[in-house]
A and B are shown apart, each in its own frame.
Chain A
Amino acid sequence: MSRYFVDRNAKYLVLICATASFIILAAIAIFTLREGLPAFQQVGWLRFIFGTEWRPSLDKFGILPMIVGSLAVTLGGMILAIPLGIGCAVLLAEVAPHRVRQLLRPAVEILVGIPSVVYGLVGMLLIVPLIRDIGGTGYSIAAGALVLTAMVLPTVISISEDSIRAVPRRYKEGALALGANHWQTIWHVLIPAARSGILAGIILGMGRAIGEAMAMIMVTGNAVQIPNSPLDPTRTLAGGIAVEINYASGLHENALFAIGVVLFVLIMIINSIAMVAMRRGRQAQDVC
């Protein structure tokens, strides 16, 4: 076998490897949809998504409470993670001296690496009792939101930091030359110039939060109900799949796959928005 023969064919070999991701993505979409479709058809698309009753034993499948639960813990988590994350990103990109940066960045990387069940366990034993002192059982939206804050923080920080760093130097120099102080430069020049990237970081963080299953099972109490207060227990979409998948069969199992379809579509929308935001951020910086 000559080396030229190898050279000609190697290209196709690595091309096949490269297409694997797209094929897997398509397969996930097809398989989840195929398994979920019977539930959508029997229950009805609208009644499935907007139904408020989830009683598998009575063949009642409405996932609105889980949608509300997912949104509640995600938004709750983002409320804290957004200001903290952007503050930390500004610190890393602009303010902190080299030494502090060298300590802070590994800390953020370790936060990414900690397994979600460890977040869940700490949430169960540390945060849930604290919330129980305020009211309720402690297993609640608030507990879920606090756990998610820590989990999405690294995503918001690292993407925001990258986009603040990517702002051309002359923007900063221009602002400082006009007499703006450091903070005015950050607030009026750097953050606006980096806003698409920061937005992308926030949206990707939301995607991560909505997809989290195990940590949410551990701290939210898993009651399927429309919550009235942050202290009420709730169940998320991703958590709902994991809680029941191991003993579900028949239409019940189809319904869980249908939740997977809803989750998949939700994430596709969220990630497409993030990708557009990131591309726009890069274009804006190229033009100037």
Chain B
Amino acid sequence: MSAKSSQKLAMVFIWGSGVITVLILFLIIGYVLARGLPAFSFDFLFTAPQGGLSGEGGISTAIVTTIYLVLLTLAILLVPGIGAAIYLSEYAKDNWLTRIIRYGVDTLAGVPSIVFGLFGFVLFVTALHFRFSLLSGALTLVCLLLPTLIRTSEEAIKAVPRSHREGALALGATKWQTILHVVLPSALPGIVTGIILCIGRIVGETASLYVTMGGSAAMPTSLFSGGRTLSLHLFYLAMETRAFEKAMATGAVLIITILIINTIINWISHRFQARVLRGA
């Protein structure tokens, strides 16, 4: 085969794999929306699940649980996550301690979510007596998401130009004042992107929550109530009640949420890049 015709064949394959990837995405989104939207209505969003065999009712409690879980998880996650990112980008020297910290972050990022679930089950649900609850679920998610937030925040902080720091230090600010009043504000768009990424992961997470949140369909009333997020609700609908139409409608809500989240992330990072290019 001549060089020219092998190149042609290869390009067909390369473009073909791109097309297939996009097709897979369109197939999933299209299928879920096409089958989910007919069962989707104002009532569906705002009534509670009735729990019957055909999955009667809506998803209001699942939406509320998801929002509570997102807020609770972020409230616990933000300080240690961003704090760790500050240490790694501003303070860490190239020594054994930094290597251990990095090893911890990298390895934790790869641990399967069901193993986090087992851990949360022993520590939070059983040993600390938080029971199957929002709190147990949120604490488990904090462990799961720490590496994600650390990595994205560290990238954002590292992208802040040296000159910003030098300017602040030259004006007599301490290192911590520089970090707090100069570095973090400049890195904010990147950090916010990381936070939104975490929100997406919380919304999509099931395995670890399946083991730590119980799965009650009732409206949560305290930190210690059990509950089910949208993703968990979808799983129960599909596997236990076999109410596929309702599951698809829940899936449609999830897909739309993810699309919105991705749009926001892209919007922020475009604006951020534009600002960096202008040299602001």
Contact = CB atoms under 8 A, between A and B. Distances in A.
B108 A21 contact: yes
Contact of B105 (A6, A21, A260): A21
Contacts of A110: 25, 29, 258-259, 262
A18 interface: yes
Contacts of A122: 27-28, 31-32, 251
Contact of B4 (A13, A15, A119, A181): A181
B106 interface: yes
Given A242-B207, A246-B211, A21 B13 contact: no
Contacts of B146: 20-21, 24
A6 B174 contact: yes
A261 to B, nearest CB: 9
A85 B13 CA distance: 11
B141 interface: no
B174 A3 contact: yes
Interface stretch (B43-51, B53-61, B116-124): B116-124
Interface in A147-178: 150, 153, 157
A7 B119 contact: no
A6 B21 contact: no
A103 B18 CA distance: 11
Contacts of A242: 114, 117, 207, 210-211
- A15, A118, A157, A241 interface centre (most CB from chain B within 10 Å): A118
Interface string B196-239: 00001001111100110000000000000000000110110011
- B28, B84, B207, B211 interface centre (most CB from chain A within 10 Å): B207
Chain B interface, DSSP helix/strand/loop, else mixed: helix
Interface stretch (A38-46, A48-56, A266-274): A266-274
Given A121-B248, A122-B28, A260 B254 contact: no
Given A122-B31, A184-B3, A238-B114, A14 B17 contact: no
Contact of B25 (A107, A183, A212): A107
A67 to B, nearest CB: 15
Given A121-B234, A213-B113, A13 B83 contact: yes
Contacts, number: 274
Contacts of B205: 115
B254 A107 contact: no
A121 B7 contact: no
Given A11-B91, A275-B106, A183 B10 contact: yes
Nearest to B17: A87
Nearest to B100: A22
A204 interface: yes
Interface string A83-125: 1111110111001100010011011111101111111111011
Q: Which 8 residue pairs spanning A and B have beta carbons closest together?
A: A211-B112, A87-B17, A22-B104, A17-B83, A115-B204, A183-B7, A7-B174, A21-B104
18 contacts: A4-B174, A6-B176, A17-B81, A17-B84, A19-B104, A21-B105, A22-B101, A84-B17, A87-B18, A88-B17, A108-B21, A113-B258, A114-B254, A115-B254, A119-B28, A126-B31, A217-B239, A242-B114
